[in-house]
Amino acid sequence: MIIDNKVYNLTSYLSMHPAGPDSMTSYCGADGTQAFATKDRSRAKSHSSYANNLLDLYYIGDVGSNVDSQKIQNIQNQSSQPAEAYHESDDD
């Protein structure tokens, strides 16, 4: 998924997303910047700072840059954070 011209491999995170994988899959392989910025709603409702920091774990590279295949492999093999660690209410 692309968010702000950065590419993320969120495959291992899909099943842990609080809103479920369906909320993300339509943006896989596409630009999800607006959806991430608004939590896929029409009004601005940004994700928490935790969610923004979580992206760092899945960062592959910038759009248009070469990607290290080892980095992709490391992301796919990393142990995922438990879903309980990601608490985000509609008020966040």
Q: Domain 2-85: which topology?
A: Flavocytochrome B2; Chain A, domain 1 (3.10.120)
pLDDT at 82 over 60: no
pLDDT level of residue 76 (50, 70, 90 thresholds): low
With 0.75 as the threshold, say if the pTM is over it.
Answer: no
- Computed over every residue of the chain, the mean pLDDT equals 79
On the 0-12 / 13-18 / 19+ scale of CB atoms within 10 A, 8 is buried
Amino acid found at 13: Y
Amino acid found at 26: S
Which DSSP category does 1 fall into?
Answer: -
Average pLDDT rounded to a whole number, residues 19-33:
91
Task: Please give the residue that has the higher pLDDT: either 21 or 78.
Answer: 21
pLDDT level of residue 42 (50, 70, 90 thresholds): low
Average pLDDT rounded to a whole number, residues 38-44:
70
Task: Please give the residue that has the higher pLDDT: either 53 or 48.
Answer: 53
Q: Measured between alpha carbons, how far is 48 from 64 in angstroms, rounded to an integer?
A: 27
